[in-house]
Amino acid sequence: QQPVQSPQAVILREGEDAVINCSSSKALYSVHWYRQKHGEAPVFLMILLKGGEQKGHEKISASFNEKKQQSSLYLTASQLSYSGTYFCGTVPLSGGSNYKLTFGKGTLLTVNP
Amino acid sequence: DTEVTQTPKHLVMGMTNKKSLKCEQHMGHRAMYWYKQKAKKPPELMFVYSYEKLSINESVPSRFSPECPNSSLLNLHLHALQPEDSALYLCASSQDPRESRAERHNEQFFGPGTRLTVL
């Protein structure tokens, strides 16, 4: 089942913060985050494997709330290079394939000068 | 080398043509994937190969025929496509989730894609 991402789109000025959410109706084993710039391939950002886990990559971090079946991606002090579409991909705790990521519809992030 | 390469970058074909898309990786990954992506949509999984064997076919029409000649190469053979098959075709690779070190997670590395137009 496809995870639900929110918001669908967000526009920021450089230096502002943003949060992108990814919710699932199924219990999750892992959540993966990717960023795709226009005309390019998706680029892996991070995987969250355990409930409550938080990870960071420079000014981009994420959390995974197992009970809420939700992950959030935090972009701090956004840069122009952060612009793109952010996808979360989920692997269910049971009943799914470990090979198959189900992607959300994406969140279009635009950072303006 | 953490790169997945795909050729060609762009492809225009008629509905009666036969063509092939190619994908290559040298990261030692034993899982390889084909995705289809339409504009403003997420990637949709088509096929998964694990150790050169077809593991998942997401009910893809037979006009798409995947092939994995060896652990580094993945092909997608195209025949009698329809205009609605026009899309970006992405290849990806990862550690195989069955490998103990992969711990059921599979960070996927995507290639740049082939932009396919069917006339």
pLDDT in tens, A49-81: 866 666 666 789 999 988 889 999 999 999 999
How many CB atoms within 10 Å of residue B80? 14
Q: What is the pLDDT of residue B105?
A: 64
pLDDT of residue B100: 57
Give the model's pLDDT for residue A51: 63
- B100 at the A interface (CB within 8 A)? no
pLDDT at residue B79 greater than cutoff 60: yes
- What mean pLDDT is predicted for residues A87-104? 87
Please tell me the number of Cα atoms within 13 Å of B31 on its side-chain side.
22
Interface of A with B (CB under 8 A): 29-30, 32, 34, 40-44, 47, 49, 87, 91, 97-101, 103-106
pLDDT one-digit tens code per residue, B15-66: 989 999 999 999 999 999 999 999 999 999 999 999 999 999 999 999 999 9
pLDDT for A99: 84
Q: How buried is residue A62: exposed, middle or buried, by Cβ count under 10 Å (0-12/13-18/19+)?
A: buried
Distance CA(A73)–CA(A45), nearest Å, equals 10
Confidence of residue B99 (pLDDT cuts 50, 70, 90): confident
What residue in B sits closest to A100 (Cα-Cα)?
B45
Question: Which one of A38-47, A64-73, B44-53, B93-102 scores highest in mean pLDDT?
Answer: B44-53
Q: What is the mean pLDDT of chain A?
A: 90
Mark which residues 16-45 of B lie under 8 Å from A by CB: 31, 33, 40-43, 45
Interface contact flag, B55 A99, Cβ < 8 Å:
yes
* Residue A82 pLDDT > 90: yes
Q: For residues B64-79, b (16+ Cβ closer than 10 Å) or e, as one string?
A: bebebeebbebbbebe
Tokens of A70: 């939700």
Residue type, B38: K
- List all residues 6 or more positions away from B100 whose beta carbon is below 8 Å from its beta carbon: none
Of residues B116, B81, B119, the one with CA closest to residue B10? B116
Please report the pLDDT score of residue A92 as a whole number.
Answer: 86
Q: What is the DSSP track for chain B?
A: ---EEEE-SEEEE-TT-EEEEEEEE-S---EEEEEEE-TTS--EEEEEEETTEEEEE-S--TTEEEEEEETTEEEEEEES--GGG-EEEEEEEE--TTSGGGTT--PPEEP--EEEEE-
Interchain pair A105, B41: CB under 8 A: yes
pLDDT score, position A50? 65
pLDDT at B61: 96
Q: Quick check: B96 pLDDT over 90?
A: no
The CA distance from A56 to B41, in Å, is: 26
List the one residue out of B37, B22, B25, B5 whose CA is nearest residue B77. B22
Confidence at residue A56, expressed as pLDDT on a 0 to 100 scale:
65
